[in-house]
Copies of this chain bind each other. A is one copy, B any other.
Amino acid sequence: MSAEIICVGTELLLGDILNSNAQYLAQQLAKLGIPHYYQTVVGDNPERLKQIIEIASQRVEILIFTGGLGPTPDDLTCETIADFFGVPLVEQPDIIEDITKKYFQRGRVMTPSNRKQALIPQGAKILPNPTGTAPGIIWEPRPGLTIFTFPGVPSEMHRMWEETAVPYLKSQGWGKEIIYSRMLKFWGIAESALAEQVAAYLNLPNPTVAPYSSRGEVKLRVSAKAASVAQAQDFIAPIEKQIREIAGLDYYGADDETLASVVGELLRARGETLSVAESCTGGGLGQMLTEISGSSDYFWGGVISYDNFVKEKLLGVNSQDLAKHGAVSSIVAEQMAQGVQSRLSTTWGLSITGIAGPTGGTETKPVGLVYIGLAGPNGKVESFEYRFGAARGRSLIRHVSACTALDNLRRKLLSQ
């Protein structure tokens, strides 16, 4: 038993819109535990759509169509499906009445082209559209094959899915098993290195464990198939515990947690405060910290010391050290951290100075070289050097720098 998502629309082939319908339906099918192995996008073309129906109807039992139900001549999904299965279309008076009423509410009159939307294959059920004018269908054109059609408008499709399609699927005995996932998040380790550490888990049948990586972050998705969320959580818990033990401090959080939120919770629990001094990130670290609602409890602010003048004036960085070691140096990173910590009277001061590129690199100080400074209680200060590599580009170097600064503070807070 599996499903296939078929999205119909030339606008998808032109790249005019993102296919958010496929993502929505994929998430919904996963939640219901209905496997789906293929998604197909095809334009508003009857011949090609028929080829797609022929292929899909041989390999799955549920076909879910979105798009092509509108009133214009290029909306062909319903007639093409009926034509493929050799079944005539029948006008439904209920639909005509519904469309007329909706147009009246909007102060409009139904046009002849809207009548097209009232034509559905003989034997199909109407899948009502509470908000729009184009209804869908639920149809079993032959035993063992069920077809759902939805309009392409996401908000209309979502309500139709939730209010009619899900109850129908459950009434047919589908969706008894659910899939529940936890996304475990890691920082400071490469995807390949983590995958080797947890290699034994990557071939488990249930829960499954799959690695992902994006923008310097590595994730493991742990997904369980079970009769209920509680049972899935029971399957996942021991695996998650073991993986977290293996990963140690490289693991930082799960699901909606971010490095900024995790650092924030640690600071809040300790009643400690933080300020930042940013050079190459230009405010990106503060931006991450304040993305968390309630961050004012522990984050007091900072200084964007993009120009050296600001490093001296607002942070008290020593001008001779700036001249001798350059702005991108461990000593300047440390003085920036101490400067903001003391001026803002916070427990911690966290600083970033580096070369984000693409220009400004030298042989000894290449693009991607970043120093992070961390000033803590009792006058303790330290710094960390990173070489993120010029190839990553300005935007990613800045992002990874801000994340790595947070990660250093996180590790410090956890190891004290």
Contact = CB atoms under 8 A, between A and B. Distances in A.
Interface of A: 10-20, 22-30, 36-43, 45, 48, 51-52, 55, 59, 70-74, 102-103, 105-108, 111-114, 130-131, 153, 155, 179, 181, 190-193, 195-196, 199, 202-203, 210-214, 221, 223, 275-276, 278, 280-287, 289-291, 293-296, 299-307, 309-310, 313-314, 343-345, 356-359, 368, 386-396, 398
Contact of A111 (B15, B111, B181, B192): B192
A71 B107 contact: no
Contacts of A29: 15
Identify whether the interface residues of A are mostly helix, strand, loop, or mixed.
Answer: mixed
A192 B71 contact: yes
Nearest to A394: B293
Nearest to A396: B155
23 contacts: A11-B212, A12-B23, A12-B26, A18-B19, A18-B20, A19-B22, A37-B48, A71-B191, A103-B190, A108-B190, A113-B195, A131-B393, A155-B393, A278-B283, A278-B286, A283-B285, A287-B287, A293-B357, A295-B306, A296-B306, A299-B306, A301-B307, A302-B306
B192 A106 contact: no
Contacts of A113: 192, 195-196
B45 A27 contact: no
A359 B393 contact: no
Given A55-B55, A283-B302, 17 more contacts: A12-B22, A13-B37, A15-B27, A15-B28, A15-B30, A102-B391, A113-B195, A113-B196, A114-B192, A286-B286, A293-B357, A294-B359, A296-B307, A300-B306, A300-B307, A303-B304, A314-B343
Nearest to A25: B15
Contact of A368 (B24, B105, B389, B391): B105
A293 B358 contact: yes
Contact of A304 (B181, B280, B286, B386): B286
A195 B71 contact: yes
Contacts of A296: 306-307
A39 B5 CA distance: 12
B48 A387 contact: no
A374 B403 CA distance: 31
Contacts of A105: 368, 387, 389-391
A192 B72 contact: yes
B14 A389 contact: no
Q: Which of A48, A283, A358 has most B Cβ within 10 Å?
A: A283
A15 B36 CA distance: 11
Contact of A36 (B13, B108, B310): B13
Contacts of A275: 310
Contact of A15 (B24, B195, B300): B24
Contacts of A299: 282, 306-307
A72 B395 contact: no
A295 to B, nearest CB: 8
B314 A306 contact: no
